[in-house]
Structure 1
Amino acid sequence: MRNSNWRTSSERGPRRTNADAVASYADPRTGQIAFALADGIGEDGTAARLAAAAAVRAAGDGAEAAMAAARHAVEAAGTGDCVLVIAVPLPGEQGYEIAWVGDARAYAVVGDAVTQLTTDHTLAQYFRDRGTPATPRMEHLVTASVRTAKPARIGYATVPTPAFLLLASDGVHRYVDGRSFARVLHHAPDPAAELVRLAVREGSADNATALVVQCPPALPATVAIPAAAA
């Protein structure tokens, strides 16, 4: 959104390097800002940085074009891979189009209502969708990534303008619950930094990154945000 206030924060945590990346870009034609958060697979964050930067630069042509640009950037680098979630403003400041691969997530927050807009592309989610129990290790095994996902595998959702839009890597969303999301977003002076600090305090074993967009005007808590289909 043209007048959005947004913050981002990231911590390396116990990992040797920080392989997460965020990017934003204001379309010079509209002034609307696109956002991306990527999580590198492995310890090298090069692919995440390239994918996030390419995605937001191409977002003026839509979320599908943004995801394609991210893939081209990663392929051109020759090595490395990442998961990615992007938020592309809809025309007329009517909300966002969300696109994702992997387990980076997007949430819409209105009042105390927290809606997850993405569905993880992980082995654990694959088994849960089929009514089969998943092991904790399966939560970390992604079934789609920027480099490997076919176009039909990319997830898409649209959401009307929420009070807050949150993009988070798994180092945050696996350790902080929805109730805490709402409390922090509405009350913390720097909600992105506070979410990352909270994830670290809760024992995050990964890089922890959050990007928070406050979208004016804030909608009343009675507004319903539809959940996305996988």
Structure 2
Amino acid sequence: MAGTRYPRWHTASAQGPRERNADAVSAYALAGAPGITFALADGVGDDPGAGRAAQTAAAAAARTPVSEGPVAAILNAQRALRELGGTGDAVLVVAMPFAGGYRIAWVGDARAYAWNGSMVRRLTVDHTLAEYFRSRHQPYTPRMEHMVTTSVRTTKPHEIGTSEVVGGGLLLTSDGVHKVLPPATIDELLGDPGRGAAALVETAIAIGGSDNATALFVEQPEVDVAYVVTERFPVAA
């Protein structure tokens, strides 16, 4: 794909105090597409089925043709999970390129943020019980922040969240990052060139994060050729 302009991107993941790392990322550039499709999944639970579900969902979503759109990517991930069998499930966020930006789709509490070079802006709204009650000005408990109302396996098409962003960079995270690090800390860490994803993950674990932490950071496009920096990504058993 000579001549295609790709941004630099970085991904990193670390296992928190869990039995396994059930997060997964995938990136795929289909011939003729305007860029790279990115997907980040977080397996529901702490067992091998959760890890397989995350890997399967992320791969199926990232390989969806751009012409079909990011909602179709979520539904393709759902079909792949159901064909896999078992009960494994995951939450998922997909960023699909179009001219000048990305179209986003998600289920659960995996997040996408826009990055303007100095600060992030959240593009997604968590599908959790806490967010459901918070949006209705009703009381909720801290535990509800981790109880998702949609997932890859269970979502219906109309429940899939959508958004888009034009220009700038992009950040995808699992909740082991964004529910530990406040936005100001994320801004500071992303400002360290070449260390964005790794710095987010390392800091989330270092300050006592209780979950696996995964980040995928797409820098603002500045180069003419594909250039990828990838930290070691532990795969679930």
With normalisation by structure 1, the TM-score equals: 0.90
**1:133, CA displacement in angstroms?**
2.1
The within-5 A match list for 1:47-126 is 47-60=53-66, 61-79=68-86, 80-90=88-98, 92=99, 94-126=100-132
CA contact (8 A) 2:114 2:170 kept: yes
**1:161, CA displacement in angstroms?**
1.7
Identity of aligned residues (%): 52
Q: How has the CA–CA distance of structure 1 residues 189 and 217 changed in structure 2, closer, same or farther, with 3 Å as cutoff?
A: closer
Which digits, 9 at most, give the CA deviation of each residue in 1:83-130, with x for residues without a partner?
00000001x3x1000000000000011133321000000000011011
Between the aligned partners of 2:182 and 2:193, the Cα distance in structure 1 is 16
The within-5 A match list for 1:13-24 is 13-24=16-27
2:159 aligned partner: 153
CA contact (8 A) 1:112 1:179 kept: no
2:216 aligned partner: 211
CA contact (8 A) 1:25 1:33 kept: yes
Q: Which amino acid aligns with 1:12?
A: Q
2:33 aligned partner: 30
Q: Does 1:138 align with 2:144?
A: yes
Name structure 2 gaps, 5 residues minimum.
224-237
Name structure 1 gaps, 5 residues minimum.
219-230
1:168 aligned partner: 173
Between the aligned partners of 1:95 and 1:31, the Cα distance in structure 2 is 10
Q: Which amino acid aligns with 2:144?
A: M
The within-5 A match list for 1:7-18 is 7-18=10-21
**1:45, CA displacement in angstroms?**
0.5
Q: Which amino acid aligns with 1:203?
A: G
CA contact (8 A) 1:9 1:211 kept: yes
Which digits, 9 at most, give the CA deviation of each residue in 1:141-193, with x for residues without a partner?
0000001111000000011122x210000000011111111211122432111
Partner SS state of residue 64, structure 2: helix
Partner SS state of residue 82, structure 2: helix
**1:57, CA displacement in angstroms?**
0.4
Structure 1 range deviating more: 38-47 or 175-184:
175-184
With normalisation by structure 2, the TM-score equals: 0.87
Between the aligned partners of 2:159 and 2:29, the Cα distance in structure 1 is 27
Whose relative contact order is higher, 1 or 2, with alpha carbons under 8 Å and at least 6 apart? Answer: 2
**1:59, CA displacement in angstroms?**
4.0
Partner SS state of residue 221, structure 2: coil
Structure 1 range deviating more: 133-142 or 209-218:
209-218
Aligned pair count reads: 215
Q: Which runs of 4+ in 1 moved over 6 A?
A: none
Indicate the RMSD between aligned Cα atoms, in angstroms: 1.5
